[in-house]
Amino acid sequence: MLGMLLWALIDFSGVQAEPPAETHISAVVCNYFAEDCSSALRIVECESQFNQFAFNGFDNGIFQLNEYWQRESMGEERWANRFDLNVNTSWAYSLWSEFGWRLWACRVVL
């Protein structure tokens, strides 16, 4: 979030700068989570710091999808693409639609 604020200030001052990668990620996340965009962005920031390739040995991508719990239900083709921003976000959205934020450790930031 701080990166987006700094980018906005730089852009406002007329300096030509590329928006940070998290701006693109935020747009994709909010496209899926339109009804709870701000919570989804806080989860992403806490879980992966907007790093779509985040991996801690078990959890994967911006929403840190857990291999043990999600691999089989996602299917091998989808799992193979788990670091793809749209695949990770769409799967997270389907989980959120069914369970809310309770599956994410970072729910405590909400």
Q: Tell me the whole-structure pTM to 2 decimals.
A: 0.81
Which pLDDT score, from 0 to 100, does residue 22 have?
79
Q: What is the pLDDT of residue 19?
A: 47
Domains of the chain: 2-12+21-109 (1.10.530)
The answer to whether 70 and 59 have CB atoms below 8 angstroms apart is: no
Task: Report d(CA 15, CA 11) in Å as an integer.
Answer: 6
Q: How far apart are the first and last CA of the chain?
A: 15
Distance CA 33, CA 17 (A): 27
Whole-number pLDDT of residue 77: 96
Residues of the chain with pLDDT under 50: 5-19
Q: What backbone torsions phi and psi does residue 17 show, to the nearest 5 degrees?
A: -145, 145
